[in-house]
Every structure is written in C-alpha cells, then in structure tokens.
A and B are shown apart, each in its own frame.
Chain A
Amino acid sequence: MDSGTAVADRAVAFPGSVREALDAMTACPQATLVAGGTEVMTLVNSGALRPSCLVVLDRIEELRGVWFGDQEIVLGSATTCADLMQSDVRGVLPALAQAARSIASPGVRSRATLGGNLLSGKRPGGPAAAAPTRDLLTVLVALNAVAVCRSEQGWRQLPVAELYARDGGVNLRPGELLTALRVPTCGGRQGFMKVGTRAGAARSLVTFALAADLSARTVTCAIGGFSPLAVRVDHAGQWLAEHVDWENGAIPDPTTYPRFARLIAEGLVVPGSAGPAGRTTVAVPQSYREQAAEVCARRALVRALPPAGWLEQVAQYQQRAEFVRNRARVERAERGLPPEPPVPGQMPGAQPPGGGLSRGAGA
C-alpha cells in the first residue's frame, strides 16, 4: 500500500499511480472509489452507503490535470471543477469551464471531479440510486470527446457517449477506471447554457453545449439535463453547415436561427422513461424542456455565428454605449454626484451614533 503518511490498516488505500489503483481494486473488489467524494460522502453521511474499504484516487498525478497537445487536450478524470475553471482551460475549452462554473458552489467545486460528474449515478450491478444530470457530459459529447479507461485487461478508448447504457447507467466493467478524457482541439467558438430550477447553482432542467469549428466547418451541439444522458442532434448540425458563411464566421440568412432551433427541438428524442436511471426527477413538463432546448439553441447559435453584418453594428453600438456612459459620468461629476448610482444596503462606513438606519440613498 502506498501512502506518504501513516495508515494503519487496509481499510484505505492511497494509490500513487493507475497501476497501484488497479491493484488495490483487485485486492478489494467491493472497495469504494473516492476521488473528490462529493457524491459518495452524501450517501455515506445519510447512511445509504457503508464503505468497507476506501480507495482514494486524488493522489494519482496521472489523473489530475489538463495536458494541452497540438491535436487534442487530455483531461485527467480526477481533475476538479475548480481546476477546469482556470484560465488555461477557459481559453481553450470555454464551454467546459462555463459548465464547471455552474456546478454547486466553490466549496464543492474544489473537490468535485470531472470523472465523478460523468460517472455519477447507477453502475450496472450497483445499488439503485440517483438520476443525475451530468452537466459536464453535455459539453464533452458536443466536443467529440473520447473516454480512456484502464483495467487489468488493458486500455479501452471509446466515445464518451458509449460510456453509458440506454437507461443511463454507466458501462464501466468491474475493476475498470476512467482515467482521462481526450478532446480534439477545435477552434472557433463554444458555449454552454444551463436552465435550472433557480438562478444560482441548481439542478439542471436543460443543459446545452454548442461548438462551432470554423476550420473544420462543423457545428456540433448536445443537449442534456433532462435525463442522465446527453443527446447529440447531428442532423441539425449537418443541415446548418450549408447555411453558414464559413469565411466570415457568420450566417447570412436570419431565418436560419429559428429553423436550426426547430430542428434541435424536434430531434430531441427523449429516452426519459427508460428505466430507473433514466427517469427524470423534476416534475417538469416535457414541452418546457423542448422549448428551453430550442431557445438555448437559437441563442447559442447567435452568439457563436452572428448574423452577417451584425458585428459592425454591434461594434458601433458598443462604442455608443460607452460614450453615453462616459458622458453620464462626466455629468454626474459636474453635479457633484458619485460616478455610479449607489446600490442600497451598503453601509458607507460607520453609522452615526444612536443607530441610524442604513438606508440606501434614494433617487
């Protein structure tokens, strides 16, 4: 057993490499694998899971980190969501960074891992649980990621969508580890959107990821959130490819946007009722999810591939808005007012004695 610190017995293992992790999993087949622990510990804290042996995966250097290659980017499966939000990743895979930012809270994001998000939920043969939403899966499906798995028998690479069974359960074999995700580099614009049950970090109702690759002249998009799986609507992307002005990265015909969105919504064949792992958990009508997917598709496409000639207008508009703001600032300074209208509730220093109310300054 490898660990840098004193661990008395075999109830826990700290493998330092994938090889050692596989050995530990062979030695104790019913071990609970823990990377970040954000899902496992919720179950343990409530008593639903009583681990007999823990294999802690977050010390394995090969699994944590992001490697940038010429052709592809390799994401270690134990990379935390906080790591995925860093500027390096954000510059190359902005959709993934945006998706990671929409998960839970900073306290959870510093532990929750990419692999944990992808593998959350039921494993074949495991206890019934969960209907997770797997937000990061949506992005990886849109980016044509390849999952790399390792077991005693060797390596296995498969498109990330094939990691799952039809009912949403995970298709990893016993004794197999998900080690990395390989994402081919794609230039151009990507975006991620999430419609949730509240504004802050929320359970997703619909997640949407879109990637427009200008050099390869493809647009791919994936929809998730309504079930544990993410769905790619390829025919919409193929249809769209003919309607894009690839040189300028714009779309000449404005009716393309609603038509594309309509294709997305119609292509959304929902495997929502196939088995316990596939059951949707929020009582939201399917029509709303379809409509939300359509709206997200249209908006994402507008941001990725704006209407031709719009950019100039937008640049002008930006200039004008900046001018108006500066002028307002100057006028306020002339009148002796603060440069920005005050926001209520902020205490401007010590309150007057006697406890004055912290009243936000009025108009």
Chain B
Amino acid sequence: MSEADAGEAGAHAGAGSGGWPTVDFELTVNGAPQRVTGAWVGENLLFVLRERLGFTAVKDGCGEGECGACTVLMEGRPTTACLVPAVAATGLAIETPEVHAVPQPDPVAAALAVHAGAGCGFCLPGIGMEMRALLAHNGKPSAAAIRETLSGHRCRCLPPERFIAATRDAAKTLAHKQAQARAQADASAQDAQDAQAERELQAERELQAEPQPPHESPIYPRVPAQAGERTQPGGRARAGENDSEHEQAGARS
C-alpha cells in the first residue's frame, strides 16, 4: 500500500522488453472466463476490459475514480475499474453492463433509457451498475440515498432528479418481479420455506436499515445506553454485507 520507487525494473522483469514487464492472467467477466496474455503489469482493469477484451460498455471518463463512468460490479460491489490493477482482479467475479443488455435491457437500463435517455448517455452504463447494486440492497431507496450513491458519478447533461425517478421506476419493476417470483415460489412446499426465509431476511434488512447509533441525528441525540455497551464479542464482520452505505439518519426514509 505504499508507493515503490518508480525506477527501472530489475532482473525481475517479465516477458516484456526492458522496463515493461507483462503478465498473463484470467479474468471472470459476466460468468465467463477471459484469458489475457501479454498485458503490462500496470494496466488497470478498465483498459483490459475495453481494449483487450472488447467490453466497450464500460467507459473511460477520467482515470482517477472521480467520474464513475467505469463502474463495474466486482463480487457484487460497485467498483471503479480504472483504479483496479487488472491482474489483481483475477478470480473475482466481474460484471459489466453488457450482461444486462441481452436478450433485452433489464429494468434498470429500461428505466434509465426512459428517464435519462435525453442526454449524451456517457454516464448511463456506470450509473446503471451502481443502481443495480443499490437496488439489490435497498428495495426502496430514499431520494437522499440515491443522491449519495450518485455522488460518485458525473452527469453534466441531466439533473439528479432524472436518476431518482429512474431508480424509483426500476425499484417498482423489480419489486413487482420479485412479488411475481415469490408468488410462483409459494406454490411448492420447498419453495414456501424459501419464501419464509426470504421474508425474514427482508424484515431483518429493513430493521438494519433503521440504525440507531450515536450521533446519527444532529438534533435528536440518542438516549444514552448503558455505559460500556458494545456488540457481541467474537465473530468477524461478514464480508459481502453492504447495507451501510445507504442508511438514514432518522426515522424518515
């Protein structure tokens, strides 16, 4: 995590000609393995996806992680691909916007096309991936939560209200589809069990979407708990659980 000296490569250079070591690796993109050979070790994931593998739906906007046009999902988390060393992404599940285009655009892309199709469109694939991740964790995000999620994306053509409307639209469609799927699943006993578990999970998520840590609200400080209170001892944070980015400060959602 610290910078190394930017000097000439030593004897450890790889196959490349002096100073440009290359690596070969395999990425898992949209569920399918993709072999990459002869890539310079310093290439970022965005460059490899676009130029070497042809996934041009991921856009290069700034190269510094500020514009969000390069957002892909890595292990289900939105990630700016321009800041990921390509070789470091081996073995991680990468999802690009292309997978949601066939056979037809998914609800998020359809909602974006309707509400936010009036601009140049460069930001849409990145915002689409971010919204898919958001809706997977929070079925009914508030306007403030959507704005906070969008704060990593740069759209010069359209105001955030368009994307708030698109996200709400997509959320409705997804909830409808989930309800349909749930109704079908209820038909069989095994599926009924799963539905019960999912409802419990949903209830737990909703519970967790209303946290009460101290200093959440600027005007309603929490009534003090017992001194020395802490959470359960032992145990380790579960990687992959990511509902904390979109919490609210108060009861209003």
Taken together as a complex, chains A and B put the C-alpha atoms of A252 and B12 apart, in Å, by 66
A-B Cβ contacts below 8 A, count: 304
Is there contact, CB below 8 Å, between B22 and A11? yes
- Which of A60-68, A234-242, A261-269 interfaces with chain B? A60-68
Is there contact, CB below 8 Å, between A67 and B236? yes
- Give the dominant DSSP class at B's interface: loop
- Which of B96-104, B193-201, B242-250 interfaces with chain A? B242-250
Does residue B13 face the partner (Cβ distance < 8 Å to A)?
yes
Taken together as a complex, chains A and B put the C-alpha atoms of A53 and B10 apart, in Å, by 9
B32 contact set on A, CB distance < 8 A: none
- Which of A152-160, A271-279, A303-311 interfaces with chain B? A303-311
Is there contact, CB below 8 Å, between A53 and B41? yes
Nearest to A79 among chain B residues (CB) is B237
Nearest to A200 among chain B residues (CB) is B151
Is there contact, CB below 8 Å, between B83 and A33? no
Once A11-B12, A38-B83 are accepted as A-B contacts, the answer to whether A66 and B237 lie under 8 Å apart by CB is yes
- Which of A136-144, A186-194, A220-228, A326-334 interfaces with chain B? A186-194
Is there contact, CB below 8 Å, between A8 and B3? no
Is there contact, CB below 8 Å, between B79 and A113? no
Once A11-B23, A54-B41 are accepted as A-B contacts, the answer to whether A32 and B228 lie under 8 Å apart by CB is no
Taken together as a complex, chains A and B put the C-alpha atoms of A122 and B220 apart, in Å, by 41
B37 contact set on A, CB distance < 8 A: 8
Size class of the contact patch on chain B: 35 or more
Is there contact, CB below 8 Å, between B19 and A50? yes
Residues of A271-307 contacting chain B, CB below 8 A: 300, 303-304, 306
Is there contact, CB below 8 Å, between B3 and A42? no
| Residues of chain B having any CB pair with chain A under 8 Å | 1-10, 12-15, 19, 21-26, 37, 41-42, 44, 63-66, 68, 71, 74, 77-80, 82-85, 87-88, 90-91, 115, 130, 133, 143, 148-149, 151-153, 159, 161-162, 164-165, 168, 208, 211, 213-215, 218-224, 226-239, 241-245
